[in-house]
Amino acid sequence: MYNKVMETVEFLNSKVTNRPKIAIILGSGLGGLVEYVENKVVIPYKDIPNFPVSTVAGHAGELVFGTINNVEVLVMKGRFHYYEGYNMKEVTYPQYVFKKFGIETMIVSNAAGGANRDFKPGTLMIINDHINFFGTNPLIGSNDERFGPRFPDMSETYSKALIEKAKNVASKLNIEFEEGVYLGSSGPTYETAAEVKMMMTMGASAVGMSTVPESIVANYLGIKILGISCITNMATGIATKPHSHEEVVEIANQTGERFCKWIAETVKEL
């Protein structure tokens, strides 16, 4: 694993002169942030040694290097999901590369279902904690101390300092937001009404199929994390119509302008 990661890092070093400290992962329908990136260098995942490839609509499958508000960034336009058939090491492979490439802060975004009845489609939610409902953990297996400790602490997975910065930026831009707990499950099916009821009882505010594995590994690696969910639909049992991925992408696209402005200004503050 370590040798594969270093091979990927060496390849990226040969392709770009950028040395960003901030990485941004864009969820379904949120790829519009790439339009805010200047001096772009785009590398398709398929060209990167040892990198998986995105197979889901709304995930372009590109690493984008450049600047946002004169701050160097690395943007993942599209992520990898457990339900695509990748194992957890493959799903979280980019985070290992981030660490060895010099990334110190990761902004992770996703499209999610609202499990809080006060939310509505289009709500932006800061993630202040998560529930791992995948039934597995990306750190299972032998541990390489060159990456991180065998038993990483998870008491502040999502940086309180970064959350405060994001809140201040939202206030300055008059962007409304909520705050809550993200529950990640394997998918690819949407949850049943009974499952959502259980998740709400557990304290979930939003439900999705990503983010948790990436955040566990980033935390393990010592990368600070800011997480933002775009509530694209209300979860089963709250929603009044069946779910579709097309609807998820459509609502995410509609919310994109507020999301992009918020992230771009937050990057500047970081």
Catalytic residues: 28, 59, 81, 83-84, 111, 209-210, 233, 245
SS3 58: coil
SS3 229: strand
CA dist., res. 125 & res. 86, Å (int): 27
CA dist., res. 11 & res. 98, Å (int): 13
Q: Is 3 annotated as a binding residue?
A: no
Q: Is 28 annotated as a binding residue?
A: yes
Per residue in 225-254, is it b (16+ CB within 10 Å) or e — as a string?
Answer: bbbbbbbbbbbbebbeeebebebbbbbbbe
Question: Which of 86, 83, 22 is closest to 208 using CA atoms?
Answer: 83
Radius of gyration of the chain (CA): 17
122 neighbors 254 (Cβ within 8 angstroms): yes
Q: Is 57 annotated as a binding residue?
A: no
Q: Is 80 annotated as a binding residue?
A: yes
Q: Is 130 annotated as a binding residue?
A: no
Q: Is 111 annotated as a binding residue?
A: yes
Q: Is 191 annotated as a binding residue?
A: yes
Q: Is 81 annotated as a binding residue?
A: yes
Q: Under 8 Å CB-to-CB from 3, ≥6 apart: which residues?
A: none
Provide the annotated binding site: 28, 59, 79-81, 111, 191, 210, 233
Residues at the binding site for phosphate are: 28, 59, 79-81, 111, 210
Binding residues for a purine D-ribonucleoside, by number, are 191, 233
